[in-house]
Amino acid sequence: MAEAFNDLTLSADKAARYAEVAVEIAAVLDGEPNLTARMATVASMLANSFDHYFWTGFYVVDPDRPRELVVGPYQGTLGCLRIAFGRGVCGAAAETGETQLVEDVHAFPGHIACDSRSESEIVVPVHDAAGKLIAVFDVDSDKPAAFDAVDQAGIEKILSATFG
């Protein structure tokens, strides 16, 4: 009972923090059209808002190789440089256009371990105003099952407000 109450309280706090950081990101990026600046700001501000974020960043669709993602702005330890569509969690998000919420990365077929401390992960596709896939946003945690529907809703909202 106490545990369930605690979980609910934490979820409400987390949702409130996503709503706050969404406003902060919009304020910082007001009038800034550059895509790299926008991605770097989202990665930095989200990574610094939540303790359960371990690696935070973008893999962008390479304009020269349209079925390949290449690393973009990120916060964290060294990330893999390139990921093919369909490979690992990021590649699955790019291929399907759907958010991937992975409680245990070791159980995900083809998961790419850039840092062996990663335990769970969320990857959200990023679309531009025309609905074209331009990148995926990847957050890894060093704790198992660190992400839930509150993270998904919070991140999806910020990405569509920033890039859509």
70 binds ligand SME (CB under 6 A): no
Nearer to ligand SME, 42 or 114 (CB): 114
126 binds ligand SME (CB under 6 A): no
- C-beta separation of 128 from 116 below 8 A: no
- C-beta separation of 123 from 86 below 8 A: no
Residue 62 is which amino acid? D
Q: How far apart are CA 76 and CA 140, in angstroms?
A: 10
Residue 115 is which amino acid? D
Q: How far apart are CA 15 and CA 150, in angstroms?
A: 6
Nearer to ligand SME, 121 or 151 (CB): 121
Stretch of residues binding ligand SME (CB under 6 A), selected from 7-15, 24-32, 80-88, 127-135: 80-88
138 binds ligand SME (CB under 6 A): yes
Site of interaction with ligand SME (CB under 6 A):
55, 79-80, 83, 88-90, 111-112, 114, 118, 121, 138, 140
